[in-house]
Amino acid sequence: MGIIAKQASRNAALILFGVVFGAVNNVFILPNAFEDFKEGWAFLGLALSIALISSQLFSFSSQSIFINRIPKLETEQQQNDLVSLVLMASAAGALVFGGGYYLFQDFILSRLSESNALLVEKYYSSILVLTVALIAFNSFGGFVIARFKTIQLTVVQDTFTKISYLAIASLYLFELISFTTVVWLFVSSYVVIAAVMFIQALKNGLKLGIARRTENIKQVVDYALFSILDKGASVIMQRLDTIMIVFILDLEYAADYLLAFFIGSVVYIPFKSMLSIVNPIVSKEIGLGHFEKLKPTYKKTSLYGMLLGGFIFVGVWTNVDSLLLLLPVKFRTGTWVILFIGLSKIFQLLGGISGSYIVYSKHYRYNLRLNLILLGLSVFTNFIGIWSYGINGAAAATALSILLYSIMKLSFVYRKFHCHPVSKELLKLVLLQLICVAIFMSIPDFVTQPFIQISIKSVIFTAVYYLGIRLLKIAPELNSLESLKESLNSKK
């Protein structure tokens, strides 16, 4: 328990570290670097969106399989055979993607405007390299997570990539490198993290070879086929709108959306630290049939996810006007995108680990149905929203889809496992956050300088929020981030 809590605290610190670098890059460096070349920034976002979605679909659900199956296998040989089989499947998936990617090149480019098509065609191969790197990262990273070594993955995924992107964007801002160099340095950073995960996997017991005999092969294949959209669901939801904006509108609009999307998505980042620790625990406990032991964790993840994520959301939204004034004039159009994306993340936080219950249980088949519904709903709502209201419509469509998706997951978990994430502490917390929004949105600006205005309001809000938590006894045991994580594992 102590090791898990300590690891969780380190994960949270590293993620926070990455958030700081990501915020500096997305809010200050990138908008200024690409103020007169929005299409360039949008291309990087498009490339990463395509690669993230494709890597989830063509990696044979390797990460989910490793997390789900490895803790349940008794012998080292069984684990080695499973790993060999899944890695071969991921390699085959990369080959299939590469062939299809070039086969449909003309069709894809024909869907873009002439200027956008020329830009994408010039760097078309970079998207393939990026996708293959992410397939490898998912596979080796999944093995590392299954060994409960999440700290290594957090370092490269949430810290190294943010720092490298910041360095690349800064070099471009000061005109020290060309955009072509930016693209390939950006892609190379993901090749590096894939290589690092491979090395970490080897250090944690990965043995490459040919699978001799995989235990319960039918179950493995069945699980992979029905969970192929497992983690891809959230990635698709986060990235599908960006891709559709590019193909329906233009790359320039996608740049505005990417900036606002990042600001709204910061709400969800602390919760990622919890999931990286909790998911292997959920998988193991469900495999042992210890459903009662998971109920406190279910409530805690929702409560603490909302405590931290809700704090960020209220802080961002009550300062949104001042925050946008810090940006170049050309990027001050994302107010409603920030709101809707932030709300979509709040819906996910309220659901806690409901998705993990489904994915790591015998009901994992239901996850496929949910994801198919989600994809259909997302495509439909985004298509209508983008055509009617541009990037604001895309963000609203995302929020609506996530809300319905979260409700379906919560309902299913309640029916099958007779548990839910709602507690009196959570209700008091939501009430406190609504009151803070009402109060701080009504307070007029103290000064005209936006940075000072944000600082003053944030300090006052933090004090009020903290006092509210203490007075309402929402989390009396919360004395430090480490105790927060220990509370998540208090039943272990």
pLDDT tens per residue, range 136-163: 998 888 888 777 666 666 677 777 888 8
Question: In the predicted model, is pLDDT for residue 12 greater than 60?
Answer: no
The 3-state DSSP composition of the chain as helix, strand, coil percent (nearest 5) reads: 80, 0, 20
Give me the pLDDT at residue 481, please: 46
> Can you tell me the distance from the alpha carbon of 465 to that of 178, in angstroms, rounded to the nearest whole number?
45
Give me the pLDDT at residue 462, please: 94
Give me the pLDDT at residue 476, please: 64
Percent above pLDDT 70 for the chain: 87
Give 404-458 pLDDT, tens digit per residue.
989 999 999 999 888 899 999 999 999 999 999 999 998 887 778 898 999 999 9
**Strongest mean pLDDT among 56-60, 175-179, 260-264:** 175-179
The torsion defined by the Cα of 21, 164, 236 and 387, in degrees rounded to 10, comes to: 80
Question: In the predicted model, is pLDDT for residue 123 greater than 90?
Answer: yes
Question: In the predicted model, is pLDDT for residue 301 greater than 60?
Answer: yes
Give 339-362 pLDDT, tens digit per residue.
999 999 999 999 888 888 887 888
Contacts of 422 (CB under 8 A, 6+ apart): 299, 302
Give me the pLDDT at residue 368, please: 74
Question: In the predicted model, is pLDDT for residue 186 greater than 50?
Answer: yes
Average pLDDT, the chain: 85
The lowest-confidence range among 105-109, 288-292, 385-389, 487-491 is 487-491
Confidence of residue 4 (pLDDT cuts 50, 70, 90): very low
Residue 56 buriedness (CB in 10 A; 0-12 / 13-18 / 19+): buried
Confidence of residue 489 (pLDDT cuts 50, 70, 90): low
Give me the pLDDT at residue 467, please: 94
Give me the pLDDT at residue 480, please: 45
Percent above pLDDT 90 for the chain: 47
Contacts of 122 (CB under 8 A, 6+ apart): none
Give me the pLDDT at residue 29, please: 94
Question: In the predicted model, is pLDDT for residue 216 greater than 70?
Answer: no
Confidence of residue 75 (pLDDT cuts 50, 70, 90): confident
Question: In the predicted model, is pLDDT for residue 56 greater than 80?
Answer: yes
Confidence of residue 215 (pLDDT cuts 50, 70, 90): low
Give me the pLDDT at residue 479, please: 47
Give me the pLDDT at residue 13, please: 61
| pLDDT top residue among 28 and 273 | 28
Confidence of residue 125 (pLDDT cuts 50, 70, 90): very high
Contacts of 211 (CB under 8 A, 6+ apart): 81, 82, 84, 85, 88
